[in-house]
Structure 1
Amino acid sequence: MNWILVYDKEIDTNHSVHLTGDRHNHIQNILKKSVGETVQVVVPGSGNYIFRIQSTEDNSTTIQKESPLPEVLKPLEIRTFFSLPRPQTGKKLLHLSGAYGVNSLYFYATETKNKEYWTSPVYSKNSVSYLETGLSQTGNSRFPSVIQERTVSWKHFLKTWQGTVLVLDREGGNFYQNIREQNERFEETLFVFGPESGWKPEDLLFFEESKFKLVSLGKINLRTEFAYSALLHQLFSIRN
């Protein structure tokens, strides 16, 4: 945790925040900060700030907003689609999304996926906490939107997307060439990740009939989280 995450609703009229639990422990035991010293704070939807430690007790730390910081990370204005991944993979996808500040993630259960994954806390009560770890790592202040669609057909969703659909597949076309053709209009593009077992022949036929482009991040098989990390890194490098 490089940044302390504080929500705007937690800041009182004196611009102070009373921290307990993990955030207090991190300041005291990891950062080893004392009264009078400063910490970096990210406020989702607002930005990055310097807060100064006003007081400490055994179980709490009070910090006060002092000054804004320049934006440390320009969020990635992209939308991403995932064939419902295993919960352990889902955790990593949420963390990476929070770290890079993507616009949104869409989770859909394609025909090959285990619908029982929906019952995992990763896709319910714990989703926000995994996004928060990403924000705390990089200082990104945009909170991604997470859409979990359990009833609508994933093919119908892709077919009705108002923009470009790029399907990630190792047999697809050159990634950079396709991105250049998009003129970096990432906000109009949906990046589609399929099941780790690969797309079925009928899926590939659907993509062809729908005129969706297949693009490749390389000619090797990657686990979903590694492929997603590779995509985010390349897009981030292009934008920054």
Structure 2
Amino acid sequence: MNWVLIYEEELNSNHLVQLTDERHTHIRTILKKDKEDKVQVVIPGSGNYLFQIQSISDSSTTLEKLDSLPDVLSPLSIHTFFSLPRPQTGKKLLHLSGAYGVNSVYFYATESKNKEYWTSPVYSKDTLSYLETGLCQTGNHRLPNLTLAKSLPWKPFFKSWKGKIFVLDREGEDSPSIFLESIKTEEEVLFVFGPESGWKPEDILFFKESGITMVSLGKINLRTEFAYSALLHLLFSIKN
């Protein structure tokens, strides 16, 4: 990873932090840093910074905050919804969300067979760590808001959404202007990724009756993580 992630509350009054966990190991063995070397640090919700190593040993690294750095990435102000995927896919989606800095990520079980995935550590004790790997990869400092809707129905959530909703589906509209609009609008935009088996006919009817637009990234079948990566890259390219 290119960046070390540190939370503001870990710093003491002298702007020092002592690391004894995997971040220390990363600095010492992967980045191969030594005393007085500098490291790039991302502080969630704050920004990008340069820290200097004050001391380093087999067991710990002490860093001092020096200067702020220009933001390396302008986050994507979108919201994302996923039909609860397999845990291995979930890891990749969380990493991408942290890397691009989306506003929020929602996981809902849109099908009864998906619900068994909730028992995975990916959706319990390890969830935050997969978002954090994205921040460490790109230097993005916006930590996405995460909602794990383990017992909530998804259709009422859609009905309550105040902004625009775009459902990604290869049978949807193939219109580049839709993606441009999603970046330019001041409305809250929610991009929806359904189950890999596809939406049921009654779900598609629900979208039509609710005035929800279905959009396409192309006429080929993509796994959820590839479709998400394609969307993020497209929107990031448009924005920049």
With the shorter chain as reference, the TM-score category is over 0.9
1:58 is matched with 58
Equivalent position of 2:157 in the other structure? 157
**Deviation string, structure 1 residues 58-116 (Cα, Å, up to 9, x no partner):** 11111101100000001111101111111111111101001111110111111354211
Q: Which residue of 2 aligns with 1:229?
A: 229
Q: Secondary structure at the match of 1:82?
A: strand
What SS does structure 1 have at the residue aligned with 2:98?
A: helix
Alignment match, 1:196:
196
Matched with 1:166 is 166
The alpha-carbon distance between structure 1 residues 221 and 156, as it changes in their structure 2 partners (threshold 3 A), is: same
One-letter amino acid of the structure 2 residue matched with residue 150 of structure 1:
K
| Contact 2:167–2:213, Cα closer than 8 Å, also in 1 | yes
Residue 175 of structure 1 deviates from its aligned partner by: 4.1
Name the count of aligned residue pairs.
240
Paired residues of 1:77 and 1:187 also in contact (CA < 8 A): no
Report the residue type matching 1:204 in the other structure. Answer: I
Whole-angstrom CA distance in 2 between matches of 1:22 and 1:65: 19
The one-letter code sitting in structure 2 at the alignment partner of 1:178 is I
Partner Cα separation in structure 2 for residue 181 and residue 42 of structure 1: 30
Return the alpha-carbon distance in structure 2 between the equivalents of residues 216 and 112 of structure 1: 26
What does 1:103-122 correspond to in 2, within 5 Å?
103-111=103-111, 113-122=113-122
Which residue in the other structure is 1:134 paired with? 134
Supply the AA of the counterpart residue of 2:127: S
Distance 1:187 1:61, change over 3 A: farther
For residues 132-152 of structure 1, give each alpha carbon's deviation from its aligned partner in whole angstroms, at most 9, with x where no partner exists: 111100001011011111222
Deviations 1:189-234 (A, max 9, x none): 1101000011111111111111111100111000001000111111
Instruction: Give the SS at the match of 1:171.
Output: strand
Instruction: Report deviation, 1:117.
Output: 0.6
2:176 matched residue in structure 1: 176
Q: Which runs of 5+ in 1 are unaligned?
A: none
Q: Percent identity?
A: 67
Displacement of 1:182 after TM fit?
4.5
- 93-102 or 171-180, which moves further after superposition? 171-180
Aligned position for 1:20: 20
CA contact (8 A) 1:81 1:107 kept: yes
1:214 aligns with 2:214: yes
Contact persistence 1:83–1:109 (CA under 8 A):
yes
Q: Counterpart of 2:148 in structure 1: which amino acid?
A: Q
Alpha-carbon distance, 1:174 to partner: 1.9
Q: Any residues of structure 2 matched to 1:67-146 within 5 Å, and which?
A: 67-111=67-111, 113-146=113-146
Distance apart, 1:183 and its partner CA: 6.1
The Cα of 1:17 is off from its aligned counterpart by 0.8
Quote the residue 1:205 is aligned against: 205
Letter in 2 for 1:43: I
Quick one: which amino acid aligns to residue 51 of structure 1? Answer: F
Q: Distance in 1 between matches of 2:186 and 2:225?
A: 20
Cα distance in structure 1, aligned partners of 2:16 and 2:4: 14
Contact 1:168–1:216, Cα closer than 8 Å, also in 2? yes
TM-score under structure 2 length normalisation: 0.96
The CA distance in 2 between the partners of 1:43 and 1:187, in whole Å, is 28
Residue 238 of structure 2 corresponds to which residue in structure 1? 238
